[in-house]
Amino acid sequence: MEPVALAEAEQLVERTLDANSDSAAAVPAPSSPKHIANPVVYQLVRVDGNGRLVPATDDEVMEVEDMVDEDKCQISSVADTGLIEGSISNEELSHGSSDLKDSEGRTQSENSKVNSQKFNARIEYIGVMLEKVKKEERLRLSVGERRHKGENSSQKAVPQLSPPVNDSSTNQSEASGKCLTISDREAIAKSSSSVTYISSKPDFSKIKGEICLDNLSIKELHETFRATFGRETTVKDKLWLKRRIAMGLTNSCDVPTTSFIIRNNTIVTTVSEEEEEKCGMQQSEDVIKVDEKINSSCEDSPIISLNNQHVHVSLSGKREREPEEHELKNEIPHTEINEQTAAKRVRKPTRRYIEELSETDTRESNGRSVFAVKTGEHCQSLRPHDQPFQNTGLDVMTVVTREESFGGSGVQVPFVSRVRGGRRPRKNFVSFLNCHPSGSMAAELITNALGVCISQQESENVESDVKDTLPSEQHEQLVNSEAEEMLNSCSGQQQSVELKNLGSCGNDSDDMTTEPAAKGVERRKHHRAWTLSEVTKLVEGVSRYGAGKWSEIKRVAFAPSSYRTSVDLKDKWRNLLRASFALTLADKAILFSEHWCRRRT
DNA sequence: CTTAGGG
DNA sequence: CCCTAAG
């Protein structure tokens, strides 16, 4: 184990603290008679394999000097290092000690301002660095232990699950480094429950033993979360918390939602009765213990805790306790939204899926293909590859698909052939796109023209907006068809029926039933072509109420249309989005190819 | 019942 | 468009 060096930091801290105490006097600081000779309790040591503290050597001192000076020093230089334990006495920091001597011989008043700034920056930097080192150490330990114990689980070794600490903390230190007041520092340091780079650290004493996360309240889960990741979370989703904690404890993202147990940092798939019993018996005890053991002393070495660690996490079992109402009512802060949404809703496999699976097996045994029927009904399950574009008779369409490689992924994108100068019905549309290759930009323009405010995410549907600007009904329908075609060619779904309907029906013509069934192509049971006005209403509804408020939109914009359910609206919107995405891709492809051709010639 | 998402 | 899970 490489020795870790932070030693010079001690001198820096002491020195700057010295000067800082002077500036601190300007602030109404709480007066305290006690002066401590060594105000900084910052252990600059490394911990060797046995957990003993080893004083820093001069080399380490030098190394730390560099690290401190280098503002954004990479943590990789200390990645494989031992553990550093340290703590800073806040009271002592804030009060300072007037009778400390300035080792440089300068007067305190001269240096106070500069040094206080330096001090703030450095003290915070050190905190950040400590945090990093500890995380590294924790990761290293857990990985090593797992390797050592060698469970037979199938968990994937993932890098650190908890996000990097330094994001917020470094920003914070940057922001506060210049103007952090004493009281601010006190507040930060004293609030052990808030996100502070100094106090927040993974606390293994709190997550050792067996914990049944199911029985923990949100608050307790938050405690455990902090103990696991060394940082706070405000997520109120119990399942999310439990999964995250389980992930952290197992160092794996392969955490099922049901029926799993974690022991020794790994997931075991089966539960012995004895363990279940153990879990039930120990849980309350451990929870209490956990609450008591906060901020234990420095010699409570994580190494020891880890070695004794026998984590037993069970997310299964009884249904989770219903969260308290007020807990759920709190809205999730923006900083956690990504994590929140990252926790995708898990669904158990649908009945159809299971059926199909079993049917596959059956087919394999008796040699009969069940899928042949199914794919007949749901031809969209075929990939575009398998079902190449067919001309549906609308000769205005020049949409083909072609293989394009974007970012290494061979995406098959619809491709609108652009014959410049060719007089084609959708010239307006094409020329518009030519002028505004960026889909969102076009959508914005159109949106502004319509006087509708659509959010960025919603503005993706270029074509549905674009067609609104087209002058003639015919063009609108064509463009609408084009959008549909885009979608169809993209999803591999052939709906020539719909295209023909679009071509013939005007606005809200309910002649669906009179429309003859397309030759050779079976239509869906209750298919109704989407008319332009419907799409327009849908788009406006989404722009007004937001995507997802389908029932609202249905109620307001599609009240009389009993045949458009909210699900239909949702589906249509999804299709529009897909189509617009395809358009965007196609447009990029065209630009790219044009650019490429130009360079060649 | 509504929403989300796979088919 | 259909179906279904989840809430």
Half-sphere exposure of A347 (CA within 13 A, CB side): 6
Residue A589 pLDDT = 83
For residue A266, what pLDDT is reported?
56
Burial of A85-104, coded b for 16+ CB within 10 Å and e otherwise, reads bbbbebebbbbbbeebeeee
A571 CA to B2 C1' distance (Å): 14
Return positions of chain B under 7 A from a protein CB.
Answer: 1-7
| Segment holding A533, helix H or strand E | helix A532-545
Q: b/e map of A174-209 (b: 16 or more CB within 10 Å)? A: eebbeebebeebbebbeeeeebbbbbbbbbbbbbbb
- Whether nucleic acid strand B comes within 7 Å of the CB of A549, the answer is yes
Task: Confirm if A128 and A170 have CB atoms less than 8 A apart.
Answer: yes
Q: Please list the residues that pair with A411 across neighbouring strands.
A: A404
- C-alpha pair distances (Å), A159 with each of A139, A165, A203, A207, A248: 8, 14, 19, 20, 10
Tell me what pLDDT residue A33 has. Answer: 34
| Separation CA A486–CA A489 (nearest Å) | 5
Which bases of chain C are contacted by protein, using any atom under 7 A from a CB?
1-7
pLDDT block averages, 10 residues each, chain A of length 601: 34 36 34 37 44 46 40 35 34 36 39 49 56 59 44 37 35 34 38 37 58 73 77 75 74 56 50 36 34 33 32 34 36 38 52 56 40 33 32 33 33 32 32 34 36 37 36 37 40 34 36 37 68 89 90 88 88 89 81 76 58
Q: What's the confidence (pLDDT) of residue A373?
A: 33
pLDDT the model gives residue A542: 92
Q: What is the pLDDT of residue A408?
A: 33
Distance A572 CA to C7 C1' (A): 23
A515 and A504 Cβ atoms separated by less than 8 Å: yes
Say how far A356 CA is from B7 C1', in Å: 11
Q: A482: which 2 tokens?
A: 């084009």
pLDDT of residue A224: 77
Q: Å between A341 CA and C7 C1'? A: 16
Tell me which protein residue sits closest to nucleotide B7, measuring alpha carbon to C1': A381
CA of A566 to C1' of B3 (A): 9
- Long-range interactions of A177-186: CB distance < 8 A, separation 24+: A177/A117, A177/A120, A177/A121, A177/A124, A178/A117, A178/A120, A180/A120, A180/A124, A181/A27, A182/A24, A182/A27, A182/A29, A182/A94, A183/A27, A183/A94, A185/A90, A185/A93, A185/A94, A185/A120, A186/A90, A186/A94
Q: What is the DSSP letter of A210?
A: E
Query: Phi, psi at residue A522, to the nearest 5°?
Result: -75, 140
Strands A312-314 and A210-211, sheet pairing:
parallel
A550 touches strand B (CB under 7 A): yes
Residue with tokens 């990761």: A139
Q: Where are the domains of chain A?
A: 1-191, 202-337, 351-380, 384-600
Q: Is the CB of A381 under 7 A from strand B?
A: yes
